[in-house]
Every structure is written in C-alpha cells, then in structure tokens.
Amino acid sequence: MVEIKNISLKYGNDEILNNLSLSINKGECVLLTGKSGSGKSSLVNSINGLSTRYDKAEIKGDIVVDGKNVKDLELHEISSIISTVFQNPKTYFFNVNTTLELLFYLENIGLTREEMDKRMNEMLEIFPIKKLLNRDIFMLSGGEKQILCIAACYIAGTKIIVMDEPSSNLDKESIDVLGNMLKILKEKGISIIVAEHRIYYLMDIVDRVFLMENGKIKKTYCRDEFLKLSKKELNALGVRNKELTELEVPFVSGDGEFQIKKLNYKFAGMDKSLNLNNLSFKFGKIYGIIGSNGNGKSTFLRCLIGVDKKSKEEIYLKTGKISKKDRLKNSSLVMQDVNHQLFTDEVLKELSLGVKNFDEKRAEIILKDLGLYEFKEKHPMSLSGGQKQRVAIASVLCKDSKLIYFDEPTSGMDYSNMMKISKLIKKYKREDKIIFIVSHDIEFLNEVADEVYELRK
C-alpha cells in the first residue's frame, strides 16, 4: 500500500531524512515515534506530498502509494488516496461552520447530497460528536478541533490516513474516541500511519513501531517486541509510557495570596458559562489545570491573565484587588499554538524580544537545558513542532513575570524533552511567582505540579 524507497529530504542545507526505506501494508497500523526533531513530521509530509509542494523541500528517492508514485501525482490526486490529520488542527480548516467543514471535501469531489448524508450518518453512528455539529470552529477548544479533523478524514473515505500527533491536545475521553476510531478504520482495511509521542492508546491496534532518530529508522519492532520493552527502556529511547498514567498529584487545598473571589464568563453562541468562586493559589507553587476538552481551560487562563474583555471577575493579589491591566502587566504565557507567538528570525532574538535588561548568558543556559543551544541562530519557524514549543517556553522563562501560564506546553513532546521542561520549570520556580499549567499530559503533571485544579462542566 505504501512503499518508501531510499528517501532523503532537505530543507535548504538541512538534511532531515537520510536514505530512509520502509513499507506499510494494506490495513496495517504503524507507529512512528522517537525524539522531537527526528524527522517524523517530515516523513508524514513526504508521504502526503506536502513537503515538496508546499514546504519546497528537496527530495530524492521514491514514495509509492496504492501503486502510484507520489512525485507523479497532483495534490488533488494524492488527497483522493491519503487523508492527513495535522499536529496543529487550525491548519486544516476551510470553513467556519463545523458541519460544512465535514462536508467540504465530499462537495469538492462531487458526491450527491444523498451520498454525503449517508457518510455523515455512518460517521455519527461510530463517533459520538453530534455536539460538535453546526458550531463555530473558532469557538471550539483545541481538542475539539482535533476531533473534528479526525472525523473529516474518516468521512473522506480514503485508503490511507496519516496522522501527526493526533492525541496531543486531547483529554482521556477524546483519546478513547480516537482509539476506537482507529480500530474501526483498521477493520475496514484502511492503512494508518501515526507519528506520535503519547502512545498508550495505540498498543491494542498497532502492528509495527518504527523508532526514528536523526532522519533514519533506528529500529523496527513488531507489536509483541515493543510491548516487552520496560518503561525504563522506553524512556531511555525518548519514548513515553506504553500504559495509561494515573494522576498522582494532590488537588488544590487551603488559602493563598492569589484569590479569585468570583469569575464569570459567558461563551458566545452557547448555553454555557464559566463560573468560579472563592478559589485561592499560593505563591511559590506550580498548579496543573485539568479537565475535559471544551470545559474552558484556555479561556480560564485568558481570564486570569486579563486579556478577555468579556470576562467579569474579582481577583485579589495578596491584600488588594488587581485589575485586568495589572494582571496582564505581571503575566507571561506560552500559548497552545506557539506559531502565534514566534516573531523573530532567530531563536536567540526570540528570547530577548520584549525583555528589559536581557541576560544573554542566562538565555543560553536555558537553551542548553532545553536541548536548543545548537539552534540558537536558526529561524524559529524552521524548527519541528516540539522544538518550537521549547523556544516559546524558553522565551517565557527569560522574563521576570510574577504570574506564568503554560497552555499544553508538552503537546507533541517526547519523553526526554518533557523531562527537560519539567526540570526547568521547577528550577525557575520562585517564592514570588505562581505557575499555572493547563495540560492533559498526566505524565508531565506528575513530574512538575505541586497541586492540580480540575475545571468541571
């Protein structure tokens, strides 16, 4: 179904894939894993044709899908064979309305209304996503957008689906939906290629695992071989736990100097609001913010920071009420989509942006701690998704804010770099700071958080 023969890929002078070969059978589910920057996303985007047609990469070798060489096909011809779930779901959408987005591809290939309705109804019988229909895509959470992308790939009816970190922004319930979907796709004879760090949900359905390193396949495991690897062996390879991790961190308790007397936010166009009362956080602590997709975790952060004008809140810092303006002045944020906060043409410049009395030596230490020092003169947008995430984290740690917020800082992050980030955040914990981390990554929260607060519906 997919035959990759001696592929080498370059972006400018940077070689990302080096003489890589592998084959994937019809109906087979394979996992591409390994450290961030090992070439997983580049391999995915070589299979779907985007690396050369969109990213202007130079490629040598052959990729044959369904008996056809990718380099001989137009993008619209490739899309009739291969569907893609991107790491950043925002790059996927063409419509504002969710239902229209699901039907967009079907309309473009000329299906009748009857056939479109049939595919939609079949999809809804399998995936419980009716709550996502006829919604404004801009009002969805990151996890809900990812589920919508996956549903759109399923409804397209292609023979091959490639996925780049599909679980990165999903809660456990949504990951369960994703796992069930992949089982059904496999039963239907569809070939599935998943580049992923969070791997536990794939262990029941994966056939083979390709461990990537420096643009090559370092080792290939059949499912039984991979399942025999211990947690210690996996972590040494930079791979996450193959079993579901349970939360070990205690929930928020007691009083603190950062007090939310009340916080109210009404979601536009929805019968839903965020209402919190008498919640306190202590300086010198790291707090994990958990909860299901769509519960308002990212909105909660925006309200705390003071950037959302529609929110109404009474928040006190130590003894006095603190305004939106003053909260914003004292806050730093790593966004869920870090592409929105990378502005310069060089990593080291990114860390200095907006920082008074920038300490270059301290910045270089942070880059070394995050495994980014060798990229300090690179353009941030030329880096992998995980590397971009670490650049954004480094830039926040170079600031001297009292209130620091992270929104899914380890999405798409391998085990080694997740541990680097957890150690670095703990290293920069101070008695005059509070750190808030929105995350579905329980492995990460167990390592970094002092307490967690669960945002419920």
Tell me what the mean pLDDT of segment 209-226 comes to: 95
Q: Which pLDDT belongs to residue 211?
A: 96
Residue 340: predicted pLDDT? 83
pLDDT above 70 as % of the chain: 100
Find, among 114, 102, 89, 85, the residue nearest to 155 by Cα.
102
Per-residue pLDDT at 32 exceeds 90: yes
Structure tokens given for 88? 């950043």
Residues contacting 328, CB < 8 A, separation 6+: 305, 306, 307
pLDDT number for residue 12: 84
Contact present, 417 and 444 (Cβ < 8 Å): no
Count the helix, strand and coil residues of the chain and give each as a percent rounded to the nearest 5: 40, 25, 35
Q: Which two tokens stand for residue 227?
A: 């399942």
Read off the pLDDT of each residue in 201-229 and give the average, rounded to a whole number. Answer: 95
The contacts of residue 384 (CB under 8 Å, 6+ apart) are 36, 37, 41
In the chain, pLDDT over 90 holds for what percent of residues?
57
* DSSP secondary structure string for all residues of 379-440: -GGGS-HHHHHHHHHHHHHTS--SEEEEESTTTT--HHHHHHHHHHHHHT--TT-EEEEE-S
Q: Is the pLDDT of residue 420 over 90?
A: no
- The pLDDT score that the predictor gives to residue 213 is 92
pLDDT tens-digit readout, 69-102: 998 999 889 988 999 988 777 777 889 999 999 9
| Contact criterion met (CB below 8 Å) for 18 and 8 | yes
Order of strands across the sheet that contains 331-334: 331-334, 403-407, 434-438, 286-290, 451-454
Q: Is pLDDT at 425 greater than 80 in this prediction? A: yes
Residues 6+ apart with CB under 8 A from 117: none
Residue 350: pLDDT band with limits 50, 70, 90? very high
Burial of 429 from C-beta contacts in 10 A (0-12 / 13-18 / 19+): middle
Every domain range in the chain assigned CATH 3.40.50.300: 2-236, 284-309+324-454
Collapsed DSSP state (helix, strand, coil) of residue 266: strand
Residue 139 per-residue DSSP state = G
- Residue 248 binned pLDDT confidence (cut-offs 50, 70, 90): very high
182 pLDDT above the threshold of 80: yes
Nearest to 301 by CA among 289, 313, 309, 292: 289
Q: What is the mean pLDDT of the chain?
A: 90
The domain 2-236 is placed in CATH, from the list 1.10.3720.10, 3.40.50.1000, 3.40.50.300, 3.30.56.10, at 3.40.50.300
Region 351-362 average pLDDT = 88
The CATH number assigned to the domain with range 284-309+324-454 reads 3.40.50.300
* pLDDT tops 90 at residue 448: yes
Strand 160-164, strand 191-195: pairing: parallel
Beta bridge partner(s), residue 260: 279, 315
Using only C-alpha atoms, the chain has a radius of gyration, in whole angstroms, of 22
Least confident of 23-27, 44-48, 60-64, 385-389: 385-389
225 band by pLDDT with thresholds 50, 70 and 90 = very high
pLDDT at 311 over 80: yes
Q: What is the pLDDT of residue 177?
A: 81
Q: Please tell me whether residue 447 adopts helix, strand or coil conformation.
A: helix
Per-residue pLDDT at 169 exceeds 80: no
d(CA 452, CA 158): 41
Angle at 167 between CA 217 and CA 122, to 5 degrees: 110
The tens digit of pLDDT for each residue in 90-142 reads 777 889 999 999 999 899 888 999 999 999 998 898 777 898 999 999 888 77
Q: Are 20 and 63 in contact (CB under 8 A)?
A: no
Give the number of other CB atoms < 10 A from CB of residue 192: 23
Structure tokens at 52: 């050369």
What kind and span of H or E run contains 404? Answer: strand 403-407
Which value, to the nearest 10 degrees, does the dihedral of the CA atoms of residues 434, 439, 443, 445 take?
20
pLDDT band at 252 (very low <50, low <70, confident <90, very high): very high
Specify the pLDDT at position 194: 96
Residue 284 confidence (pLDDT):
94
pLDDT value of position 283: 94
Give the CA distances from residue 294 to residues 144, 276, 384, 386, in Å, rounded to whole numbers and listed in that order. Answer: 7, 16, 27, 23
| Cα–Cα nearest to 403, from 326, 290, 311 | 326
Q: Residue 168 pairs with which residues in a beta bridge?
A: none
Distance CA 193, CA 190 (A): 10
